[in-house]
Amino acid sequence: MPDLHDQYKMRLALPKGRMFDEIVSLLKGAGISLRNSERGYRPSLSLPNYDTKMLKPRNVISMLAAGARDFGFAGADWVYEMELELVEVLNTELNPVRLVVAAPHEVLIDGVLPKRHLVVASEYPRMAAEWIKKNNLDAEVLTTYGATEVFPPEDADLIIDNTATGSTLRANGLVIIDEVMKSSTRMYASKESMSHPEKKQQIEDFAMLIDAVLKARTRVMMDLNVASENLDAVLNCLPSLRQPTVSPLSDSGWFAVRSAVPRKKLAEIIPKLKTNGAHDIVTTSAEQLIS
């Protein structure tokens, strides 16, 4: 990545909590280390001219919107809820959750909400109000600050909350009746920083390195040897980002083949390769994959 002049110190915001470990893992895969400071919330990044601060996810968003931070990571749900204008640079697709509407069995009538005044508990009051209006309901929003699932049935009729697997909802006797949106951890930048050519380039370079790690996680590098008469058949078995690399071996009539293969298709591809004449098949994990 190009060095910036000293006056263009990059200000990175990292979210505390469940997202942090995933982001640190991405940084490590990109060859970027993070060293904790004595104060804890100001870790050092192994890149020149970076000022890094750890914040609560909602504060990451606020600081980006205010221009106090150049870029950072946050959940798409909170960016939408807070209605702040940021530039989405990269969707990591990590920490995927759904924002859902859920209610207890006893509140529902044949699986449908009753026609009466309802109380909707949610940490997302704006999103809840939009959903109420969209569905033309007689309802009010009760803003919560965690553990929303415990409010029904005594203190609320239904909730709007995020869920990864739905297990917490089920454990509390709640049934999902609608989906509001899908969310994941994403890299955002301030509009101000993206209007600055050098900062924009630095942010996009950073995103490229992170994206390369994400792409590498979905593929493995496969090396194999094949006789010339079986080369076409083997190549037809190999999905690749582009064309596999084919090199002649010292043994006349044989070729070495290298390809980036989707990890999830390995169990399907390897038997086909063997059937079609591939030998000496080796797979290795890639740290980064830049197309």
| pLDDT tens track for 82-106 | 999 999 999 999 999 999 999 999 9
- DSSP state, 245? E
- The reply to whether 116 and 162 lie within a common domain is yes
- The reply to whether 74 and 207 lie within a common domain is yes
Q: What is the pLDDT of residues 138-168, one digit of tens each?
A: 999 999 998 999 999 999 999 999 999 999 9
- The reply to whether 122 and 169 lie within a common domain is yes
3 has a pLDDT exceeding 70? no
Distance of CA 136 to the CA centre of its chain: 33
Q: What is the pLDDT of residue 2?
A: 40
Rg value, the chain, Cα:
25
- The reply to whether 112 and 86 lie within a common domain is no
Residue 26, in any domain of the structure: yes
Residue 291, in any domain of the structure: no
Q: Domain residues for 259? A: 219-285
- The reply to whether 115 and 143 lie within a common domain is yes
Between 157 and 111, name the one with better pLDDT: 157
Residue 212, in any domain of the structure: yes
Between 22 and 38, name the one with better pLDDT: 22
Residue 290, in any domain of the structure: no
Q: What is the pLDDT of residue 242?
A: 72
> What angle do the packed helices 197-217 and 18-29 form, to 10 degrees?
90
- The reply to whether 188 and 86 lie within a common domain is yes
Q: Which of 207, 122, 120 is nearest to 161 (CA)?
A: 122
Q: How confident is the model at residue 241 (pLDDT cuts 50, 70, 90)?
A: low
Q: Quick one: what percent of the chain has pLDDT higher than 90? A: 81
Query: What's 31's domain CATH number?
Result: 3.40.190.10
* Count of domains forming the chain: 3
Q: List the structure tokens of 24.
A: 């640190």
Q: What is the pLDDT of residue 85?
A: 92
Q: What is the pLDDT of residue 1?
A: 41
Give the predicted TM-score (pTM) of the model: 0.85
Residue 12, in any domain of the structure: yes
Mean confidence (pLDDT) of the chain: 92
Averaged pLDDT, 234-244: 84
Q: What is the pLDDT of residue 275?
A: 96
Q: What is the pLDDT of residue 38?
A: 59
- The reply to whether 81 and 103 lie within a common domain is no
DSSP secondary structure, 5-58, as one string: PGGG-EEEEEE-SHHHHHHHHHHHHTT--EE--TTSSSPEESSTTEEEEEE-HH
Q: What is the pLDDT of residue 137?
A: 95
